[in-house]
Structure 1
Amino acid sequence: MAGERDPWLPDRLLRTERDALMPLLRGTDQYDFAARTACPGWTVRQVLAHCGAALVRIVEGRLEGAFTPEANAADVRERADWTTSQVLDELERGFTEAGPVIAASDGDLDVIALGEWVHAGDVRDALGEPGAYDGKGALEALTILSVVSRVRHTPRLHATLHGHNAPLVLGNEVEGRPAASLAADVPTLIRLYAGRPLVRTRYELRGATESELVIYG
């Protein structure tokens, strides 16, 4: 799964997630948008507001000062008075239109597309839905992660994933240090690299610490 960047992979990931997530969200009870997520302090609605705002920033080229914790929080506050339908409409627009812009970039924005997929997992997890950090788009997400993990300078790791024949190679070689190894399922791998809670997960990690693997933060 490792290799050179495919510029259109983020677009495919975003569109796949749009087609899977938006019908679920359109049919979700208003009450459930107030459920808390794995993102400290944020509800489902706030996570979705952040996701839509981030993607539309990319679409509209408003990237200066973007994607910092402060900017993300400001984007969410700006949408506090929006209806849920408005939040979902912006998110769907972002899923649809951001991919070509990301494809034309130098690769720095690929991590945002991956983050959107991870946040979709946060939402599914909070709503008690199956497929959190797995399911449709997982192969594309893992391929992007293999590249992003090198860009973010995580140590070399060989991941043996349940249900996958070929190991996933992540991160960069470190002189004098052998590659780490991980045996886990896909959702646990994503939780590790995204810095999500690991309660109830089962994995075997050797040669690296959990904190060394996190690409967000």
Structure 2
Amino acid sequence: MPDAYAGPGLELALTLRVLTSQQGNGIPVHADLDGRDEPLILDLPPGDRTPARFIGDATTLVRLSAGRPVTGVRHELSGAKAAELNLFGG
């Protein structure tokens, strides 16, 4: 199901990701999402870590946040490893 993360729940998933980040879960991320004018700022840094930078589509960010594979999907991630975006450990 390549479009499993692109359904009507995508906006809710992004909102949940932002709310989770405001609880201090995860690492700081500055996400430039395709088709959006404003970046999504996740996990505002409480300390010295420079925010990671994600460039790609929203579905890929949600997949990374859920620990799902993104093999073959065009995106850019700098300043962090994909596993660090996984909110569920693993």
**Range of TM-score over shorter length:** 0.7 to 0.9
Instruction: Quote how far apart the aligned CAs of 1:161 are.
Output: 0.6
Q: Which residue of 2 aligns with 1:7?
A: none
The structure with the greater share of residues assigned to helix is 1
Residue 17 (structure 2) aligned to one of 120, 125, 145: 145
**Separation (CA, whole Å) in 1 of partners of 2:8 and 2:21:** 21
How far is 1:152 from its partner? 5.6
Indicate the RMSD between aligned Cα atoms, in angstroms: 1.7
Q: Distance in 2 between matches of 1:181 and 1:213?
A: 11
Q: What is the rounded CA distance, in whole Å, between the counterparts of 1:201 and 1:213 in structure 2?
A: 16
Cα 1:132/1:155, change in 2 over 3 Å: same
Aligned to 2:27: 155
Q: Which residue of 2 aligns with 1:173?
A: 45
Unmatched 5+ stretches in structure 2: none
Structure 1 or 2: larger strand share?
A: 2
- Give runs of aligned pairs for residues 1-217 of structure 1, distance below 5 A: 125=1, 131-151=3-23, 153-217=25-89
Pick the structure with greater CA Rg: 1
Residue 210 of structure 1: how far off its partner (Å): 1.1
Name the SS for the 1:147 alignment partner.
Answer: helix
Q: Are the equivalent residues in 2 in contact too, given 1:149–1:215 (CA < 8 A)?
A: no
SS of structure 2 residue aligned to 1:169: strand
Quote the offset at 1:153 in angstroms.
2.1
Distance 1:152 1:216, change over 3 A: farther
Higher relative contact order (CA 8 A, sep 6+): 2
Q: Distance in 2 between the 1:160 and 1:134 partners?
A: 17
Contact 2:27–2:43 (CA under 8 A) maintained in structure 1: yes
Query: 3-state SS of the aligned residue for 2:13?
Result: helix
1:189 maps to amino acid: L
User: Post-superposition shift, 1:150?
Assistant: 3.6
